[in-house]
Amino acid sequence: MRAEDILVPTPAGVCCKRGGFHIDPVRPVQKALITHGHSDHARAGHGAVLATQETLAIMRLRYGDNFAGTSQAIRYGEEIKLDGVTVSFHPAGHVLGSAQIKVACDGFSIVASGDYKDVPDPTCTPFELVPCDVFITEATFGLPVFRHHDAKGEIDKLLRSVALFPERAHLVGAYSLGKAQRVIAMLREAGHDKPIYLHGAMEKITRYYESRGIDLGQVELVRGAKKSELAGHITICPPTAMGDLWSRRFPDPVFAFASGWMRVRARARQRGVTLPLVISDHADWDGLTSTIAATGASEVWVTHGQEDALVHWCTSKGLKARPLDIVGYGDEEEADVTPTEAEA
């Protein structure tokens, strides 16, 4: 059995010919297995979709009821046979409902991990290590300069800034799905109990998180708030909203941005961020390399991100490794809901 007999990379995404499906296809296909709800992985228009209940719900929220021809929910750990291959979904720790997809056939297994992180997140099920023969990994932060360190320390930094500048608003740019809710939940864990304001574009997803039993405390919409009320409070918004007319309603805002990209100063500066918060929903370099080693895989396929460095590392450790050139992943932010300028 060779890996390519089970899965092959195609322009549309990783394809299992025998099982008749694609994983996270970037263009419409007959049958898609979706790892998680971010728009670069979960696209509308497939014939049939198999994903976790949460991922299906998120796709429905984003694309409407007709996001796919048919849909089927699968639980973590549940096994489903598709024309001779067995597929199962395992927690990826990335966002609510995110999964790694294991495809097994005749005792040989490949895990397509989608996006993942191996650190605690109060808003989703922790990453589960799935031993396999071939591991397909992302490489968003696949350079040894990406060390995310402890996200709690970054939350403390934000709270210290709020205490030091009580007359200013704190705007925290965060991706709408996952990061926004994680930042709110971590603020609550750190004991912050004041209302947290939210950009309207994040409302539906955030309410969905709450409906799944994730306690986010008092979350208010910016829309109804007066300028003076926003001082001394934290507001979460899509990153693109920070440079927009929308941000003018805030009193002397401090611009924070919660992202793994904030690790590199030039990136933070380029965005005009004054309070970078290194909080990532992707594994950092140490997370990527330790996970690859722990899966026991002898072969690694590297998808979107900094493939070169990770492939180089795998090779230096005696693992077979290759980059998968699939165009279309890694632009979750670009596809994130952008408020129109007219809104201000």
Residues that bind another protein (CB under 8 A): 143-147, 149, 157, 161, 164-165, 242-248, 252-255, 263-266, 268-276, 286, 306, 308-309, 312-313, 316, 341
Residue 37 vs 238, nearer CB to another protein: 238
Residue 98 vs 306, nearer CB to another protein: 306
What is the C-alpha separation between 86 and 172, in angstroms, rounded? 42
Residue 100 vs 303, nearer CB to another protein: 303
What is the C-alpha separation between 28 and 215, in angstroms, rounded? 35
Helix, strand, or coil (residue 332) = helix
194: its two tokens? 């004041």
> Under 8 Å CB-to-CB from 339, ≥6 apart: which residues?
199, 200, 201, 238, 240, 241, 244, 246
Give which of 272, 262, 275, 267 is closest to 234, Cα–Cα.
275
Give which of 126, 174, 183, 127 is closest to 154, Cα–Cα.
183
11: its two tokens? 């322009």
Place of tokens 């396929």: 301
Residue 194 vs 269, nearer CB to another protein: 269
In the complex, least distance from residue 245 CB atom to another protein, rounded to whole angstroms: 6
In the complex, least distance from residue 309 CB atom to another protein, rounded to whole angstroms: 5
In the complex, least distance from residue 227 CB atom to another protein, rounded to whole angstroms: 13
CB 133 within 8 A of CB 198: no
In the complex, least distance from residue 197 CB atom to another protein, rounded to whole angstroms: 17
9: its two tokens? 């990379």
In the complex, least distance from residue 175 CB atom to another protein, rounded to whole angstroms: 18
Residue 223 vs 269, nearer CB to another protein: 269
In the complex, least distance from residue 335 CB atom to another protein, rounded to whole angstroms: 17
Residue 227 vs 269, nearer CB to another protein: 269
Give the angle 293-290-131 at the CA atoms, nearest 5°. Answer: 45
CA 111 to chain centre: 18
203: its two tokens? 């409302």
In the complex, least distance from residue 189 CB atom to another protein, rounded to whole angstroms: 21
Residue 59 vs 314, nearer CB to another protein: 314
> Under 8 Å CB-to-CB from 202, ≥6 apart: which residues?
176, 180, 236, 237, 238, 337
Q: Where are the beta strands (DSSP E) in 161-240?
A: 170-173, 196-198, 219-221, 234-237
In the complex, least distance from residue 235 CB atom to another protein, rounded to whole angstroms: 14
Q: Which CA distances in Å does 188 have to 69, 135, 266?
A: 39, 35, 30
Residue 203 vs 244, nearer CB to another protein: 244
In the complex, least distance from residue 293 CB atom to another protein, rounded to whole angstroms: 15
Residue 37 vs 142, nearer CB to another protein: 142
184: its two tokens? 């709110």
- Most distant pair of Cα atoms in the chain: their distance: 66
